[in-house]
Amino acid sequence: MTACEPSTPISVKGDWDAVFRLKISDLRHAEAKFVLYSNVTRLSLGSFALIALSILWVGWLALNGYFAIGWTSAMFFSAAGYLSMVHSFKTGLRQRMEATGLVADAICQVRVAETQFTLNTPNGQFSWPIKKVKIWRTLRGLLFAPEPDLYVFVSKHSEFPFETFEELRERAFAIVADPTDHTT
């Protein structure tokens, strides 16, 4: 298993629940992953542009005898460029997360049924059609995206009343073959 699996629609074979308390470390981890997954094109093109500009800048200053200044300033401007590429997205994302009730120390429940992905938070109950929810695997758990500007992170250390995290993950990604299928 890699740290980043491609977005996959949820496979539902029976309902499942997960109850979890959001930890600040889990929110930071999930936000970083979600920002990366949601802005792949922008970050890729921006990276190429920043690398090209940095090479030109450092090269020009090196020819004039200021290599150290060019190198240092290129790193500073590249870091600022990367942050500016995702700043507005992160600001909107954090506002949406707070409005939904997905904040540190909140106790939440996710329920996945035949046609609905339901989230219960201290701010209420929210539901989305299951076909619109994207899911990614991370090293720390499952990352769900019911909307383009909202994520729900279920840590592998959450409470799963009817199964283990591994069983839930396998069902969510339909890794386990149907036991009635005898073709293999």
Most confident segment among 4-18, 39-53, 161-175: 39-53
How far is Cα 163 from Cα 114, in angstroms, rounded to an integer?
A: 17
Higher pLDDT, 94 or 9: 94
Residue 8 confidence (pLDDT)? 52
Backbone angles phi, psi at 107, to 5 degrees: -95, 125
pLDDT class of 161 with cuts at 50, 70, 90? confident
How far is Cα 99 from Cα 80, in angstroms, rounded to an integer?
A: 28
pLDDT class of 166 with cuts at 50, 70, 90? confident
* pLDDT higher than 50, residue 33: yes
Q: What is the mean pLDDT of residues 126-152?
A: 91
How far is Cα 62 from Cα 45, in angstroms, rounded to an integer?
A: 26
Q: What is the mean pLDDT of residues 83-92?
A: 91
Fill in the amino acid letter for 112.
V
Residue 176 confidence (pLDDT)? 32
Residue 179 confidence (pLDDT)? 39
pLDDT class of 140 with cuts at 50, 70, 90? very high
CB 47 within 8 A of CB 53: no
What is the 3-state secondary structure of the chain? CCCCCCCEECCCCCCEEEEEECCHHHHHHHHHHHHHHHCHHHHHHHHHHHHHHHHHHHHHHHHCCCHHHHHHHHHHHHHHHHHHHHHHHHHHHHHHHHHHCCCCCCEEEEEECCCEEEEEECCEEEEEEHHHCEEEECCCEEEEEEECCEEEEEECCCECCCCCHHHHHHHHHCCCCCCCCCCC
* pLDDT higher than 70, residue 181: no
